[in-house]
Amino acid sequence: MGLVNDEYNNIGVNITIDLEDLLINPIVFKEEAIERSKMVGNIWQTLQAVNAIYECYVDAVVDVAKKEIKFKVRVISEEINLKLSDFELPKVKNDFTTINRAVCLDRAYEEGTGGSKVVYYLLNDDTVVLEADAPESKIIYPPRMKVFIDDDIAKAKAQGIQE
């Protein structure tokens, strides 16, 4: 366990980092994986990158009375596969279709010279509606999109709805 006291710890809080779990479950560090620099940055993004690369997580314990934060680095030792549908969430459906969102464009829109764009959603009750008419409770996640482009927007829309 180490105490962090450097030029960036100027808020009057003792910060300790507990690496004890790494003694039991060592990590092979990849020096080139994380860019090191002395600058203000987003610690959350850095921690998430480290966690993904080294298959670990950081447990933070805050003691306001003692003005102390303890970070414990833990190695992920067990993985559990979860399906959102196991939790009976209303936005989840076992969806075996290839797409559930169709983005329909004409060539002018694709080229950035005007034109039209229309988006259709396949809902969890198997209806197809325009994006603006899609009730949040019936949208299927994760989105699987396909883009349909034609010179005529009507043809692109027809292809998207059929798909």
pLDDT of 5 over the 50 cut = no
Dihedral of the alpha carbons of 63, 64, 68, 74, in degrees to the nearest 10: 40
Q: How far apart are CA 93 and CA 57, in angstroms?
A: 30
Q: Any idea which of 89-93, 109-113, 117-121 has the lowest mean pLDDT?
A: 89-93
Tally Cβ neighbours within 10 Å of residue 100.
Answer: 21
Q: How far apart are CA 26 and CA 47, in angstroms?
A: 18
pLDDT band with cut points at 50, 70 and 90 for residue 2: very low
Q: How far apart are CA 19 and CA 132, in angstroms?
A: 50
Extract the tokens encoding 14.
């003792």
Q: How far apart are CA 61 and CA 64, in angstroms?
A: 10
Mean pLDDT over 31-45 rounds to 66
Please classify residue 157 by burial: count the beta carbons closer than 10 Å to its beta carbon, then call 0-12 exposed, 13-18 middle and 19+ buried.
Answer: buried
Q: Could you tell me if 123 and 129 are in contact, meaning their C-beta atoms sit under 8 angstroms apart?
A: yes
pTM confidence score? 0.43
H runs (alpha helix) in 69-131 = 107-111
